[in-house]
């Protein structure tokens, strides 16, 4: 598959995510209305959801950099980093992203932004200090590839929609367990409908966050492999990224600014030392060993 086809595939994935989560949220909204007897909930929540999605989407770079504690990289202090980003932007045919740094000794990096014209590449000061130029170039090329392949748009929308689904599910469960359910007709057919809606609502409210996260994790892992391959194409030197990944693998220090909401954006899982049940399904990144083996085979 060509890179242009990958871009089209990512665009289709964005629309697919919109449709799936839209219907999931509408179903949950209807169930909340049934069990609370508040039938204006769907239009009110729908309006709030649209505003939430638009604000989050158009301000994703500002939101992520603020959450991560990232600061604009001074061009004099981080001259080499700016030069590398500019080189990779030229190689990929993309405009130069804004360059940010996180003041942390851990080795990591991420890219964010809704499109190439509004993108950000952020690198930790640990990566700047501990990686040689070839390795740092490999890391920047990986993040530039995410921007070129439109991975950022897909993963940004996935994160926004997962967050929205979790908020609605949490609201549903709180209404049920705090006794905020409707007091309408619960006898006969009305009572049966209420009980059915309540049961389905509770099941969906419990399962929705897990299903949404699984979708996001699966997409994230696939895009990491593609970004590695794209980075090797940009630099023509896979060993640069291999060296960086090996150092990241040996770096046991967690990134203090990272959290579960932003972990999927980084080049490697920043939440070190976590033992995950069914790790292959619930991991935001494929194993570093597999990524290194693929790069070395190029």
Instruction: State the CATH number of the domain containing residue 73.
Output: 3.30.2010.10
Which whole-number Å values give the CA distances from 84 to 91, 99, 139, 223, 271, in the listed order? Answer: 10, 10, 10, 22, 26
pLDDT of residue 49: 73
Of the listed 143, 224, 253, 256, which one is catalytic? 143
Shared-domain flag, residues 146 and 241: yes
Shared-domain flag, residues 128 and 77: yes
pLDDT tier for residue 78 given thresholds of 50, 70 and 90: very high
Shared-domain flag, residues 222 and 140: yes
> How many domains are there within the chain?
2
pLDDT of residue 169: 72
Domain boundary among 191, 209, 227: 209
Interval 125-170: pLDDT, tens: 999 999 999 999 999 999 999 988 887 777 777 777 777 777 767 7
pLDDT tier for residue 179 given thresholds of 50, 70 and 90: low
Determine the structural domain holding residue 93 and report its residue range: 69-151+218-296
256 belongs to the catalytic site: no
Interval 20-62: pLDDT, tens: 777 777 777 777 777 667 677 667 777 877 787 788 778 888 9
């Amino acid at each position: 598959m060509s890179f242009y086809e990958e871009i089209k595939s990512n665009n289709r994935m964005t629309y697919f995510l919109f449709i799936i989560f839209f219907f999931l949220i509408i179903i949950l909204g209807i169930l909340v209305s049934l069990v609370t007897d508040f039938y204006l909930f769907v239009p009110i929540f729908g309006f709030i959801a649209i505003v939430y999605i638009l604000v989050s989407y158009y301000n994703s770079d500002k939101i992520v950099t603020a959450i991560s504690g990232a600061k604009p990289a001074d061009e004099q202090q981080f001259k080499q980093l700016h030069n590398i980003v500019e080189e990779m932007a030229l190689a990929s045919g993309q405009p130069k992203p804004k360059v940010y740094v996180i003041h942390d000794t851990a080795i990591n990096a991420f890219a964010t932004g809704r499109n190439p014209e509004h993108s950000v590449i952020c690198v930790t000061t640990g990566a700047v200090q501990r990686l040689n130029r070839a390795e740092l170039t490999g890391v920047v090329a990986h993040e530039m590839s995410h921007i070129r392949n439109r991975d950022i748009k897909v993963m940004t929308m996935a994160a926004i929609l997962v967050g929205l689904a979790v908020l609605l599910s949490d609201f549903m469960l709180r209404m049920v367990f705090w006794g905020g359910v409707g007091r309408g007709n619960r006898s006969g057919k009305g009572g049966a409908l209420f009980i059915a809606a309540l049961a389905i609502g509770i099941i969906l409210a419990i399962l929705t966050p897990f299903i949404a996260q699984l979708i996001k994790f699966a997409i994230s892992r696939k895009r990491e492999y593609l970004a590695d391959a794209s980075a090797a194409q940009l630099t023509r030197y896979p060993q640069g990224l291999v060296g960086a990944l090996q150092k990241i693998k040996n770096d046991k220090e967690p990134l203090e600014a990272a959290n579960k909401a932003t972990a999927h954006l980084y080049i490697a899982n920043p939440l070190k030392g976590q033992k995950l049940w069914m790790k292959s399904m619930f991991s935001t990144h494929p194993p570093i060993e597999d990524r290194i083996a693929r790069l070395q085979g190029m």
